[in-house]
Amino acid sequence: MQQNLEQLSRLLQSVRAEVGKVILGQTDVIEKAIITILIGQHALIEGVPGVAKTLLVRTLAHVLGCEFSRIQFTPDLMPADITGTSVFNFQKNEFTLMPGPVFTTFLLGDEINRAPAKTQSALLQAMQERVVTIDRHTYELSPAFTVFATQNPIEYEGTYPLAEAQKDRFALKITMPFPEREDELSLARRMLGHDSPEIALSSGVVQPLLTVESLAESRRTLEQLAVRDEMLGYILDIVRATRSHEAVLVGAGPRATQSLLMASRAVAALAGHDFVSPDDVRSMVVPVLEHRLILRPEYEVEGLSITEVIQQILQTVPVPR
């Protein structure tokens, strides 16, 4: 078992390094995206335009040897534009499925909050059950089907906020900041030559390291990583504490407990550990809980942020030894 976990750790580090050839200065973001894929869940990526959100997912799909599709969400987008539709084939005298972009492995939903709720909800069944129902027929999606949905955090005019039930389907919220000065300078230099990130991705500089089948094997290896009962209790107590904090109107539910457990185990695997530590758990608390909590209006008016509330909660939960 230890050997399998060590091999998984080396593989994940190779994936991180390969993606880092294209996505400069976003090591933390790359790690969280890899964790999302490894635990078989979905992620909400928040960042201003131009920080390489789309390029990140495209690069991950290439390195992991998986199919990639992109949907640009707009106010006039219909559910059938996502799932696909049945078209009558006159030659065969029957209806034929014209699959939509959801029939892929990695799906990027760009600016998901620009589409109305009816269209957003078309992804719910696919995200939760990995199946799509079209004209009363159910079609299976890839077992590795993963949704990365992006949001612009500074422009809300003409947008439709995600429903709480839909936000809860995302295991992690990944905040993508501006790169540091040196990284941005390196990017600028590369744009002057012939090794820009887009060219590097399409020219063979970045190599595929996995396939859909080997990705499934990696997920099974992750299940071998031990989680002590004390650590399970620690994770549970953190999530339950969000429901009783005075500043929180709506706390995190059981799905948050599951996401925090799986994400913590993936962090440990990425670091080469064979057990989950309190540090692994704490590193994933904000990405797992930030988009799930709703603060009371009076505390929001005072300027209290959800991140500050989470840090307060962490200080009140005893750390297992």
SS3 content of the chain, % helix, strand, coil (to 5): 50, 15, 35
Residue 178, amino acid: F
Average pLDDT of the chain to the nearest whole number: 88
CB within 8 A of 244, min separation 6: which ones? Answer: 251
Report pLDDT digits (tens) over 202-248.
777 788 888 888 888 898 889 888 889 999 999 999 999 999 999 99
Residue 156: is its pLDDT beyond 80?
Answer: no
Contact in structure between 249 and 68 (CB atoms under 8 Å): no
Q: State which fold the 225-316 domain adopts.
A: Helicase, Ruva Protein; domain 3 (1.10.8)
Most confident of 6-10, 36-40, 201-205: 36-40
Residue boundaries of the structural domains of the chain: 2-218, 225-316
Question: What tokens does 243 get?
Answer: 């429901």
> Of 34, 222, 14, 28, nearest to 146 (Cα)?
34
Tokens of residue 170, six digits: 């995302």
**Length of the chain, in residues:** 321
Residues 6+ apart with CB under 8 A from 32: 43, 172, 174, 287
What number is the average pLDDT over the span 286-294?
94
Rg (alpha carbons) of the chain, rounded to whole number: 20
State yes or no: pLDDT of 49 exceeds 90.
no
CATH topology for the 2-218 domain: Rossmann fold (3.40.50)
Beta bridge partners of 250: 294
Please say if the pLDDT value at position 157 is more than 70: no
State yes or no: pLDDT of 3 exceeds 80.
no
Nearest to 166 by CA among 118, 105, 131, 102: 118
Residues 98-118 have a mean pLDDT of 89
Pick from 106, 96, 100: nearest CA to 142: 106
Do 59 and 164 touch, CB atoms closer than 8 A? no
